[in-house]
Structure 1
């Protein structure tokens, strides 16, 4: 493999605080490196240093490949694209700056050549036409027109249809913007591609498409992602960034976790062994010290005979040598000391379920829901529960679907039951109505037809991906002190469990980062005492370590859960039932987990492939037989379809023509059996062609 870049002893501080140090890494051609680390560990800063947009405090970056062969999809949109109101197609075409600039020049020439003033001046027109021709020839030599087709094809494949190409890029949703930026970088010829959070806002179907597309990419890939399954399926190595350096682990996410667990077990074993050795050395030193003092005192007594005093002095000298040897051994052990394994700075909490003795928590009966743009969606909303219950959000307005027309029916006769103990994952592409379904469950939206029955003892804890229910004007500490009986000490302890410590507790909620707001929203669930958790993207904006804690907490929760999440590993490990929305108004329930569903899909695909091949073979045999009969080469006496005919290229070439000729061609003096067989063949082929 060819080395593309090498990083040596890199360090970066910010306002006197060291973000990371002693970072060493190497990027080889063909590798797919996943860069992971806690939020705030400096992953994006490291990428900016690699791209030359920022300088390290210490260390060096060696680039064996010039930066013009690198490309980088940033986590945030380019402000220039937002400010200049560029269209979707314009932003996507910026993946190849050279061709994009040349295309802009050609567009300018085309406008000038249509200018009436230039048309009236033959010399100016001919001069500009010649310049236009030169540029056009250059554009063709660079395969510019093929590049335009590739960009449009990439946009279509990733779900950005032609109807969106001419609208301002800034008007797109977060997921759509991510797709456009992906289309831009994936159509550029690069040898190192860097992607910072490419899976943000993408639905599962698009993520799977992206995985396949990146597997086909032949250059080196360095990507940052908090999607564990994306890392597991794509990465050839995982690079973990910590304040003290970087460690690289071969394989995907599962191999990374195995390595980390093995490291922890090894560290624990070494720590225990060293502790035993340390205690043994300290005990030996203590005993030798006692023996030395004893021998020294005995040798110093005046009444001892000379030979006895000499004996005690020799013994004291021997013990002092052993004493010093043990001290040196202890010093060596301390120098090689292994620290006691400690869990990283992570969330620490549990969710307790409220009591529920019934069987069915809620039921959808033939539920229909549509968006009527002639009426305010708020008119259909029910009032939510008060803030003091810290459950459902207040004044939450449901947004219209971007796909809705004057009256777009999102659900058309959805029926299902939610039973006690269910772990139900609601799945479907973006825009299929997952969040709308949750809000119908909550009672924030009313069905346009059908019924939703909720058990009287139902208590719902709701986590909204919009995080709109947080009291943004309060500090974290003040928001807890509003609770009855809450003391300042208890509030600070609880906030510490959610990683809000020291001065963090005085932060105003509205100023928090999205990851911090997620943790603040989890605190509200902690106090809810719900018997049903309705969770809409609960792990968005959280790093991998926090995601694992949330996963563990939810697995231990004894109540019922309804989950919408693009975190496929969370769905895989938590869900016991799947409610799949097809975007056409229907919902299908699968009673099993994600692994079982994928196995059933694979079986069905195998059956379809098997059945499809058998059907093709049978059709070819029928067409071959018909071709033989119409050519007069078959023995009319044998008739029927009992004989087996080999499927050949001749049959494939003549089958369609033979089928068309069957209506018009006659065989001289045909026997009755021959006519009957021809008719039977035609009927069989007609069934295949329907």
Structure 2
């Protein structure tokens, strides 16, 4: 066991006025299986880069371990996998490598295949196995589940659960729950560490949020009551002070000493109420700092004139002589929320392209409603660029609604002035989802929409879909999201 000590850490990117971290201190035990959580853009990956000494910062980070970062960048992808593993962990014996791969349920034959020929899941597992074999290394694992199918995620999560000591960034709730024992949350105003998995942390956060909301309401009423009381007392004091210059009703002169004494007592009471009021305001200001914005969003989907929108019967899709899926059949009716499931390469994205109208080579019967309007969210975000105002205009969507949705998905106002190409992966995905939600369509089709999107935003999108029940066909490997959202499942 060793410790990672972070003391008075302050960091901002060059040219930015806002600090990502400001004077934060905490301690991490390298035996912990530590999950990171926090909204997109809060600094999770930035903190990993600070541990790797990639940026200059104020404060101090001390550790007696060598940090290794995943995803590992493989330069020579045409090399055999065994050579890449040996490059990462040169002291590992062949039997150790094979044992590690067996824990990840990978066949030994991947070792003697060129790395680029491996699937994304096989590449991820092979690299993580190599990095865990490296002596005196502490792994910083940044979103390993992106593009992994549900089965691959489960195997990887089970593998990590048996390991000792790492930091993991993931937005998959089930994945985190299965393999971590501590949570570090990067909140709006501070950083907290708790023992337990994500679900335990989330319950504690909800309990704290509910307590603060109740306290906030109580203090709000207290402040209003004290303000009214202070106002009345101040008026009394002023009236008494004015009367020092007057006379009594009988015409005799007032006892100015008595009146002054009475005015002083009222003023003292006024000051006391003011002090209590200020204390209540200060107490109120300590609350609600870390409550995340989760306002409900509103969408209005068009109603198609028929109940059945799309129908597929005995569909097989081909790329050249290669068949990617065989004998698929299902229909999409209004109100359906259908998840397409299957391993990577089973034809999920190809079916989506067929429904969206792309030129796909297929056999079988495919019928789509005439003049059916579809909104499509793709996996790819690399083409996004320009400012949000122009993006809304070019896509004929309501700019105010578009930006309101982004605000509710935790975009700061200064983000609106930046070029979309500079956004994080999660922020780019939110741009595509916000655009889709603004479009007047009959059917939403989303292909792995949640890649890189933070957990709180995922929950918020879930609430939206459950509230407004749009017709939706989607591919997603987040098992919790699928369980909560899908009304039907199609297994390929």
Q: Into which bin does the TM-score normalised by the smaller protein fall?
A: 0.7 to 0.9
Q: Show the counterpart of 1:21.
A: 22
Instruction: Write out per-residue CA displacement over residues 361-395 of structure 1, whole angstroms, 9 at most, x where no aligned residue.
Output: 222222222221xxxxxxxxxxxxxxxxxxxxxxx
1:422 aligns with 2:336: yes
* Local SS of the residue matching 2:314: strand
Q: Find out whether 1:233 has 2:172 as its counterpart.
A: no
CA contact (8 A) 1:19 1:243 kept: no
Residue 469 (structure 2) pairs with residue 558 (structure 1): yes
User: Is 1:534 matched up with 2:480?
Assistant: no
Which residue is 1:369 aligned to?
317
Structure 1 CA distance for aligned equivalents of residues 484 and 324 of structure 2? 29
Partner of residue 377 from structure 2, selected from 435, 452, 463: 463
Query: Secondary structure, in 3 states, of the residue corresponding to 1:94?
Result: helix
- Superposed counterparts of 1:39-50, under 5 Å: 39-50=40-51
Check the 8 A contact 1:20/1:244 in 2, yes or no: no
Deviations 1:118-161 (A, max 9, x none): xxxxxxxxxxxxxxxxxxxxxxxxxx343343356467x247x6
Contact 1:367/1:447 (<8 A) preserved: no
Q: Deviations over 1:544-592 (max 9, x none)?
A: 23222322222234332111111212111101221111xxxxxxxxxxx
CA 556–250 in structure 1, closer or farther in 2 if over 3 Å, else same: same
Alpha-carbon deviation of 1:497? 3.0
Equivalent position of 1:685 in the other structure: none
In the TM superposition, what is the alpha-carbon distance from 1:258 to its structure 2 partner? 2.0
Answer whether contact 1:91 1:180 (CA < 8 A) is retained. no
Answering whether residue 390 of structure 2 is matched by residue 481 of structure 1, we say no
Is residue 408 of structure 1 aligned with residue 331 of structure 2? no
Query: Residues 493 and 252 from structure 1, CA distance in 2 versus in 1: closer, same or farther, beyond 3 angstroms?
Result: same
2:166 corresponds to 1:206: no
Q: CA deviation at 1:435?
A: 0.8
Which of these residues, 127, 139, 148, is aligned with residue 193 of structure 1?
Answer: 139
C-alpha distance in 2 between matches for 1:308 and 1:195: 81
Helix, strand or coil for the counterpart of 2:319?
strand
Tell me which residue corresponds to 2:125.
179
Instruction: Determine if contact 1:20/1:243 at 8 Å carries over to the other structure.
Output: no
Residue 216 (structure 1) shift: 1.4
SS at match of 2:284: coil
Cα distance per residue 1:154-192 (max 9 Å; x no partner): 67x247x6257442x466665444233212123335574
Report the Cα offset of residue 224 of structure 1: 0.9
Paired residues of 1:354 and 1:530 also in contact (CA < 8 A): yes
Inter-CA distance 231–452: structure 2 relative to 1 (3 Å threshold): same
> RMSD in angstroms over aligned alpha carbons?
3.2
CA distance in 2, matches of 1:89, 1:354: 54
Q: 1:61 is matched with which residue? A: 61
Structure 1 position 91 matched with structure 2 position 84: yes
Say if 1:513 and 1:239 are closer, same or farther in 2 by CA, change over 3 A.
closer
Q: CA deviation at 1:42?
A: 1.7
- Tell me what 2:351 maps to: 437
Higher strand share: 2
Corresponding residue SS for 2:35? strand
- Name whichever of 535-544 and 88-97 sits farther off: 88-97
Match of 1:316 in 2: 263
Secondary structure (helix, strand or coil) at the match of 1:498 reads helix
What is aligned with 2:239? 294
Partner Cα separation in structure 1 for residue 400 and residue 254 of structure 2: 72
Aligned-pair distance for 1:248?
Answer: 2.2
1:9 aligns with 2:5: no
**Aligned twin of 1:38:** 39
CA contact (8 A) 1:93 1:148 kept: no
Q: CA, structure 1 residues 186+433, in 2 after alignment: closer, same or farther (shift >3 Å)? A: farther
8 Å Cα contact 2:324/2:345 also seen in 1: no
Which structure's CA Rg is the greater one? 1
Query: Where does residue 330 of structure 1 map in the other structure?
Result: 277
Length, aligned pairs only: 484
Hey, what does 1:634 align to over in structure 2?
none
Aligned equivalents of 1:492, 1:483: Cα separation in 2: 13
Q: How far does residue 424 in structure 1 lie from its aligned partner after superposition?
A: 1.3
Q: Which residue of 1 aligns with 2:195?
A: 250
| Higher relative contact order, chain-length normalized (CA < 8 Å, sep 6+) | 2
Q: What corresponds to 2:459 in structure 1?
A: 548
Is 1:497 paired with 2:446? no
SS at 1:461's partner residue? strand
Q: 1:525 maps to which residue?
A: 436
Give CA-to-partner distance per residue, 1:501-557, whole Å, 9 cap, x none: 767556555565433432332244234322222211011122223222322222234
- Note closer, same or farther for the CA distance 1:290–1:48 as it changes in structure 2 (3 Å cut): same
Q: Secondary structure at the match of 1:18?
A: coil
Q: CA deviation at 1:205?
A: 0.9
Q: Provide structure 1 residue ranges, at least 5 long, that are not aligned to the other structure.
A: 101-143, 373-406, 582-690
What's the offset of the Cα at 1:19?
0.8
Deviation at 1:223, TM superposition (A): 1.0
For 1:667, the equivalent position in structure 2 comes to: none
Residue of structure 2 in register with 1:72 after alignment? 68
* Contact in 2 for aligned 1:292/1:316 (Cα 8 Å): yes
- Secondary structure of 2:10's aligned partner: strand
Corresponding residue SS for 2:75 = helix
- Normalising by structure 2, report the TM-score: 0.86
Match of 2:167, SS? Answer: strand
What displacement does 1:95 show? 3.9
Tell whether the 8 Å contact from 2:77 to 2:116 is kept in structure 1 after alignment: no
Q: 1:416 to 1:316 in 2, by over 3 A?
A: closer
- What is the Cα deviation at residue 241 of structure 1? 1.1
SS in 1 for 2:19: strand
The equivalent residue for 1:648 is none
Residue 646 of structure 1 corresponds to which residue in structure 2? none
Higher helix content, 1 or 2: 1
Q: Residue 473 and residue 267 in structure 1: after superposition, are their counterparts in 2 closer, same or farther (change >3 A)? A: closer
1:358 to 296, 302, 306: 306
Aligned partners of 1:291 and 1:319 also within 8 Å:
yes
| CA–CA separation in structure 2 for the residues paired with 1:509 and 1:247 | 30
Q: What CA distance in whole angstroms lies between the structure 1 residues aligned with 2:389 and 2:254?
A: 78
Q: Distance in 2 between matches of 1:483 and 1:198?
A: 32
TM (norm. structure 1) is: 0.63
Contact 2:296–2:463 (8 Å) recurs in 1: no
Unaligned 5+ runs, structure 2 = none
